Homo-oligomer: A and B are copies of this chain.
Amino acid sequence: MNEMPHILVVDDHREIRAAVTRYLEKNGMRATAAQDAAEMDAKLATGHFDLIVLDVMMPGEDGLSVCRRLSGEGGLPILMLTALGQETDRIVGLEIGADDYLPKPFNPRELLARIKAILRRSDRSEPLAGSLAGKKVRFAQWVLDSDRRVLIDGNGQETALTGADFKLLTVLLERARLVLSRDQLMDLTAGRRAAPLDRTIDNQISRLRRKIEKDPMQPRLIITVRNGGYSLAADVEVMNE
């Protein structure tokens, strides 16, 4: 997490919104407030957020409904605020997809600690996502020029990459040495879920290997992990401008 995390606070009480946003901003975060689900949707559509603090009890669409809706689509983490003692709500919230809840009234310091705990965790899921934009990246015997989408070898020889090649390679570079399942790769490269018996990723790996491996029959860079997926076996260095 390089920049300040951006938190969206959704609560119908003006005082709570104000207090929470002020406290978060005093502690190294950006905070934006919304007073109901409709306003939340508007803010979400036009900005980038790292986490939503969501009140369960709201006029209009309530927190549980919002939570169900959001956790279905995006993977935006949600921290729910519940009235004290409504254990049922809390459990249902967690089961529906909230990442945490906090009973009201709450200690702002605890809210902050919980937000950080969630961010720390979800941070992992997109470690360097998009961070390669415009950079040059060195790995194994190659340098990837991510502006031009071209690979350059030690002799200055260039190899062109297609869109799919480039996207897949970028995803692997950003997660070097991690084993990524076909599902994850499909999600990360194409944003869709792999159908059963879908060989798309295998095909793309095969094509990419033909371009980047010295000997595509004995791949050294992109390793197959049976029953696991694929893994990039190389150190990755983002080059200085």
Instruction: State the A residues within 8 Å of B (CB).
Output: 75, 77, 87, 90-91, 94-95, 97-100, 107, 109-110, 113-114, 116-118, 120-128, 133-134, 147-149, 162-164, 175, 177-181, 184, 220, 223-226, 228, 231, 233-235
Residues of B contacting A122 in the complex (Cβ-Cβ under 8 angstroms): 121, 124
- The reply to whether B148 and A233 form a contact with Cβ atoms under 8 Å apart is yes
Contact B128 A179 (CB under 8 A): yes
Partner of A178, one of B120, B127, B179: B127
With A and B bound together, what is the CA distance between A163 and B223 in angstroms?
10
Q: Can you tell how many copies of this chain the complex includes?
A: 2
How far is the CB of A133 from the nearest CB of chain B, in Å? 5
8 closest residue pairs by CB, A with B: A94-B113, A147-B233, A125-B178, A163-B226, A127-B177, A133-B177, A94-B117, A128-B179
> CB distance B121 to A95 under 8 Å?
no
Question: Are A164 and B134 interface neighbours, CB within 8 A?
Answer: no
Q: How far is the CB of A53 from chain B (nearest CB, A)?
A: 15
Is the Cβ of A235 less than 8 Å from the Cβ of B128? no
Nearest chain B residue, comparing its CB with the CB of A230: B128
Q: Judging by beta carbons under 8 Å apart, are B91 and A113 in contact? A: yes
A95: chain B residues within 8 A (beta carbon): 113, 116
A121 touches B77 (CB 8 A): yes
| Residue ID in chain B nearest A218 by CB atoms | B160
Interface centre among A87, A147, A164, A224 (most CB of B within 10 A): A147
A110-B90, A127-B178, A226-B163 known; A117 vs B134 contact (CB < 8 Å): no
**A23–chain B nearest beta-carbon distance, Å:** 14
Cα distance A163–B177 in the bound complex, in angstroms: 15
A172 CA to B122 CA, complexed, in Å? 19
10 contacts across the A-B interface (CB closer than 8 A):
A87-B110, A91-B107, A91-B110, A94-B110, A94-B114, A95-B116, A125-B179, A134-B233, A149-B223, A162-B226
